[in-house]
Amino acid sequence: MDFLIQYRIREGAEAAQDAAVRAFVAAIRATGDAACRYTVYRRQDDGRAFVHHAWLADQAAFARFQAQPHFKAFADGLGARVEAPPTVARLDPVISSGG
């Protein structure tokens, strides 16, 4: 299961957002769950625009991910930092150069 999450933060929220995404991904990493990979990107053409890519092996991994306290904390805090609610798209792979 792949998800793409996109949003733009409010002017002046850059430092808070940087700290929030670093803490969020560190907490994901600390779980040691091999069924979850998560990457946060900042767009080069707009330093306030963020793109997250989440890969979760299956529905059980997705449920574990959403049940984590760091997920709720990040989601709850994001509203104060963004200009508009994030867009979330579930992706279906077509082809990949990877294994």
CB burial of residue 54 (10 Å; 0-12, 13-18, 19+)? buried
Q: What is the pLDDT of residue 98?
A: 78
Residue 17 maps to a domain: yes
At 99, is the pLDDT very low, low, confident or very high (cuts 50, 70, 90)? low
Question: Could you report the per-residue pLDDT of 27-71, keeping only the tens digit for each?
Answer: 999 999 999 999 999 999 999 999 999 999 999 999 999 999 999
How many folded domains does the chain comprise? 1
Domain span at 80: 2-91
Distance from the first to the final alpha carbon of the chain = 16
Residue with the larger pLDDT of the pair 60 and 96: 60
How much is the pTM?
Answer: 0.92
CATH number of the domain to which 7 belongs: 3.30.70.100
Residue 62 lies in a domain: yes
